[in-house]
């Protein structure tokens, strides 16, 4: 691992962070919130100033074209950590403690949506930053920088897939920079469309902007203290249901549908079909439970069932009601959705549907080989054979994911003396889902957790957003073979 290459990339990343973190200043000026300008300007100056620490030690930008996978993984991991630390500075200005500021910053940037806020009496500028940080993290800060920086034209490929690793490497244009630009273009257009529809539906413009930024990111931060429930509108809920569902689809797949003008491409994709089926199945089951238990009327039951199911599956974390108060059967079905995640290549987090598709096929193959040990059963996804090395990576990912979940759940449960907090707190942070059950539920706060529990949750959020790969790579001694 060559430090000069890493320093070169980090120099560029820090300069880009300095630019994007200035965006809330425009909001502060619009609302004449002059005191909120200072923390964002300071953060930008700090980020830009830190970039010069790497300048003397960095190589030429052309050297990035030769960057290796291990170096790309290191750049991605360090970039997210630096963005989280710089992004916490505004929260310090607004009165949050250092640990709570880091928690809120990481929760935003990783699009988790778990909050430590106990009051919502902060300036609009802060709420805009919460949602904007999710929007930036939803599609990936490195993917954004690849789209706008010519220096990442070639090297961007390694970092593009290091930031969003998965079983397949979807590339929708010949050049990775064009791919990043195409994905971000779709992301921006859909976000603007949701803002317009929410405003028409009666949501205040500022809230429509913040909620839309969080929706498309699969985030969950809302400027309203009661989340989406606070707007008391079924129309708003159904608009967000539609856009949350869109946010959970592979953006590369959506771009292919757009280019070819063939919606049928969606239904030829195994992951999308399974994603839609899972959403429909759990939404209907939960809706029926809510209706038959007399919790809500028929239409309200359908609204709540579809909203919360999609919100959890795409790891958005919004709440249209306090599902902690639902009947136990409905909560158990909803808890099952905590483990699915959205499609690979989407803004959502979690395990990803494609890995579940693979796991089922893998188990079927292993069962068949018990009876026919000499037979060859290739695993196919979208009619393409999954290579052996990818199979090994997916199996390792699933095992480590469950191991990290079990370990963090045990530790949090012991610290908090509550298995409910331990289990739901662990999976919601590792899966970047947001609220859990009980006191950390949709109307609760993570502020009640012990500082050590918060640190575990912070690590879970970062590990979950980076999909374990950079984290696991760093555990290997060869990774730290520095040149």
> Rounded to the nearest 5°, which phi and psi values hold at 174?
-60, -35
Longest dimension (CA), the chain: 73
Residue 338: count other Cβ atoms within 10 Å of its Cβ.
23
Q: What is the distance between the alpha carbons of residues 26 and 144, in angstroms, rounded to a whole number?
A: 20
First and final C-alpha spacing in the chain? 6
Asked whether the beta carbons of 309 and 282 are under 8 A apart, the reply is yes
> Rounded to the nearest 5°, which phi and psi values hold at 381?
-130, 125
Q: What is the distance between the alpha carbons of residues 43 and 141, in angstroms, rounded to a whole number?
A: 17
**Average pLDDT of the residues in 61-71:** 63
What percent of the chain is helix, strand and coil (3-state, nearest 5)? Answer: 70, 0, 30
Q: Which of 62, 41, 54, 42 is nearest to 14 (CA)?
A: 54
Q: What is the distance between the alpha carbons of residues 225 and 350, in angstroms, rounded to a whole number?
A: 25
Q: What is the distance between the alpha carbons of residues 279 and 256, in angstroms, rounded to a whole number?
A: 22
Alpha carbon separation from 319 to 221, 277, 309, 316, 442 (Å, rounded): 10, 22, 10, 9, 6
The residue with greater pLDDT, 386 or 363, is: 363
Does 76 score more than 90 pLDDT? no
Q: Helix, strand or coil for residue 348?
A: coil
DSSP letters along 382-406, please? Answer: TTEEPPHHHHHHHHHHHHHHHHHHH
Question: Which H or E run includes 380?
Answer: strand 380-381
Q: What is the distance between the alpha carbons of residues 474 and 466, in angstroms, rounded to a whole number?
A: 12
Q: pLDDT averaged over the chain?
A: 86
Residue 357: count other Cβ atoms within 10 Å of its Cβ.
19
Q: Tens digit of pLDDT for each residue in 104-150?
A: 999 999 999 899 998 999 999 999 999 999 998 887 655 655 544 44
Q: Tens digit of pLDDT for each residue in 395-440?
A: 888 899 999 999 999 999 999 999 999 999 999 999 999 899 989 9
> Which pLDDT score is estimated for 2?
72
Q: Which of 178, 20, 25, 193 is nearest to 108 (CA)?
A: 20
Residue 56: count other Cβ atoms within 10 Å of its Cβ.
8
Asked whether the beta carbons of 166 and 386 are under 8 A apart, the reply is no
Does 475 score more than 90 pLDDT? no
Q: If you count them, how many residues does the chain have?
A: 483
What's the whole-model pTM score?
0.89
Q: Tens digit of pLDDT for each residue in 152-192?
A: 444 444 444 445 544 445 544 445 566 677 778 888 999 99
Alpha carbon separation from 165 to 45, 111, 157 (Å, rounded): 32, 17, 11
3 state SS for 48-93: HHHHHHHHCCCCCHHHHHHCCHHHHHHHHHHHHHHHHHHHCHHHHH
> Which pLDDT score is estimated for 64?
57
Asked whether the beta carbons of 435 and 114 are under 8 A apart, the reply is yes
Q: Tens digit of pLDDT for each residue in 231-260?
A: 999 999 999 999 999 999 988 888 888 888
Q: Which of 317, 356, 346 is nearest to 334 (CA)?
A: 317
Residue 231 burial by Cβ neighbours in a 10 Å radius (0-12, 13-18, 19+): buried
Asked whether the beta carbons of 158 and 66 are under 8 A apart, the reply is no
Radius of gyration of the chain measured on its C-alpha atoms: 22
Q: Tens digit of pLDDT for each residue in 38-51?
A: 999 999 999 999 88
Q: What is the distance between the alpha carbons of residues 22 and 133, in angstroms, rounded to a whole number?
A: 12
- Residue at token pair 């942070």: 429
Alpha carbon separation from 293 to 96, 289, 298, 325, 451 (Å, rounded): 41, 6, 11, 12, 39
Output the six-digit token pair for 145.
């920088």
Q: Apex CA 458: angle with CA 145 and CA 20, to 5°?
A: 25
Lowest mean pLDDT among 72-76, 82-86, 211-215, 263-267: 72-76
> Which pLDDT score is estimated for 175?
54
DSSP letters along 341-361, please? Answer: ---TTSS--SS-HHHHHHHHH
């Amino acid at each position: 691992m060559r430090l000069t290459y890493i320093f070169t990339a980090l120099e560029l990343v820090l300069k880009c962070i300095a630019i994007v973190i200035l965006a809330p200043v425009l909001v502060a000026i619009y609302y004449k919130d002059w005191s909120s300008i200072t923390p964002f300007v300071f953060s930008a100056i700090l980020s830009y100033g830190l970039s010069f620490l790497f300048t003397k030690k960095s190589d030429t930008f052309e050297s990035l074209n030769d960057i290796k996978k291990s170096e790309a993984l290191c750049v991605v991991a360090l970039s997210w950590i630096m963005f989280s630390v710089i992004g916490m500075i505004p929260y310090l200005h607004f009165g949050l403690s250092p640990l709570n500021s880091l928690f809120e910053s990481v929760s935003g940037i990783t699009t988790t949506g778990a909050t430590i806020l106990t009051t919502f009496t902060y300036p609009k500028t802060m709420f805009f930053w919460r949602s904007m940080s999710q929007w930036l993290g939803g599609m990936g800060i490195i993917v954004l920088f690849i789209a706008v920086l010519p220096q990442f034209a070639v090297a961007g490929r390694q970092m593009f897939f290091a930031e969003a690793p998965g079983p397949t490497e979807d590339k929708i244009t010949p050049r990775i920079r064009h791919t990043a630009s195409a994905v971000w273009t779709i992301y921006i257009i859909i976000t603007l469309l949701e803002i317009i529809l929410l405003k028409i539906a009666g949501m205040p413009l500022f809230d429509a902007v913040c909620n839309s930024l969080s929706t498309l990111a699969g985030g969950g931060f809302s400027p309203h203290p009661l989340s989406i429930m606070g707007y008391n509108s079924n129309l708003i809920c159904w608009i967000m249901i539609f856009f949350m569902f869109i946010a959970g689809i592979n953006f590369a797949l959506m771009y292919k549908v757009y280019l070819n003008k063939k919606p049928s491409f969606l239904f030829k994709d195994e992951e999308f079909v399974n994603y839609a089926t899972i959403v429909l199945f759990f939404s209907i089951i939960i809706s029926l439970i809510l209706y038959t238990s007399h919790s809500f009327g028929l239409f309200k039951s359908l609204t709540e069932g579809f909203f919360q199911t999609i919100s959890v599956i795409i790891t958005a974390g919004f709440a249209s009601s306090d599902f902690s108060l639902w009947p136990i059967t409905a909560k158990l079905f909803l808890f099952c959705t905590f483990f699915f995640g959205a499609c690979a290549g989407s803004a959502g987090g979690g395990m990803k549907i494609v890995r579940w598709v693979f796991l089922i096929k893998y188990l079927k193959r292993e069962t068949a080989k018990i009876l026919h040990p000499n037979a060859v059963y290739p695993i196919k996804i979208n009619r393409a054979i999954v290579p052996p090395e990818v199979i090994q990576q997916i199996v390792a990912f699933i095992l480590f994911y469950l191991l990290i979940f079990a370990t963090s759940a045990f530790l949090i449960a012991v610290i908090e003396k509550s298995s409910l907090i331990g289990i739901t707190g662990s999976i919601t942070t590792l899966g970047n889902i947001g609220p859990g059950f009980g006191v950390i539920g949709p109307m609760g706060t993570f502020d009640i957790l012990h500082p050590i529990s918060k640190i575990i949750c912070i690590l879970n959020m970062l590990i979950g957003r980076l999909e374990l790969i950079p984290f696991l790579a760093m555990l290997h001694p060869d990774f730290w073979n520095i040149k």
